[in-house]
């Protein structure tokens, strides 16, 4: 699961702990790209229709999102990716290099491609924590 935990933090949760050997040099293994028509796995597209709208989408700008750091939670199940603050209401695609090992079954690409949007609300706190802000995934507190 991938989500924006704040305008400058992306989290990626896995269903099992990540291999400690793979966790070395995490920052160099993670790339993020944004744009109106950016989607995870775009680099694998090989057949494209000739429709004008598809050609416009291909020409639309794509931007690299600087990755400042990548950390992992103590249980090794969630990556915490720090980026420069993002405010564009666009699609974001994350590529994690070399996350999968070769298997003897079906061939697998070693990289993982995921996407997310900047959904959420930045909300001010009141009372004892006045002046601080938190990031909520949506307005429904339940």
What is the per-residue pLDDT across 41-74, written as a single tens digit (0 to 9) for each?
888 877 777 777 777 777 788 999 999 999 999 9
Q: pTM here? A: 0.79
Which CATH number is 2-136's, of 1.20.120.160, 3.40.50.970, 2.60.40.1220, 3.40.50.720?
Answer: 2.60.40.1220
N-term to C-term CA, the chain? 20
Percent of residues, the chain, with pLDDT higher than 90? 35
Closest CA to 5 of 124, 127, 135: 135
pLDDT in tens, the chain (142 residues): 898 888 899 999 999 998 888 888 788 889 999 998 888 888 887 777 777 777 777 778 899 999 999 999 999 999 999 999 998 889 999 999 887 665 667 777 788 899 998 877 778 888 888 888 887 777 776 7
Instruction: Write out 73-139 in H/E/C secondary structure.
Output: CCCCCEEEEEECCCCCCCEEEEEECCCCCCCCCCCCCCCEEEEEECCCEEEECCHHHCCCEEEECCC
CA separation for the pair 31, 66 (Å, rounded): 8
């Amino acid at each position: 699961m991938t989500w924006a935990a704040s305008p400058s933090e992306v989290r990626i949760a896995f269903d099992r702990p990540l291999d400690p050997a793979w966790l070395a040099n995490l920052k160099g293994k993670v790339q993020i790209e944004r744009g109106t028509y950016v989607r995870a796995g775009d680099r694998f597209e090989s057949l494209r229709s000739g429709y004008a709208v598809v050609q416009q989408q291909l020409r639309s700008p794509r931007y690299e999102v600087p990755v400042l750091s990548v950390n992992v939670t103590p249980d090794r199940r969630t990556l915490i990716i720090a980026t420069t603050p993002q405010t564009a209401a666009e699609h974001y695609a994350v590529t994690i290099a070399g996350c999968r090992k070769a298997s003897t079954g079906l061939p697998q690409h070693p990289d993982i491609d995921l996407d997310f949007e900047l959904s959420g609300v930045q909300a001010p706190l009141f009372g004892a924590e006045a002046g601080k802000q938190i990031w909520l995934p949506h307005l429904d507190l339940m």
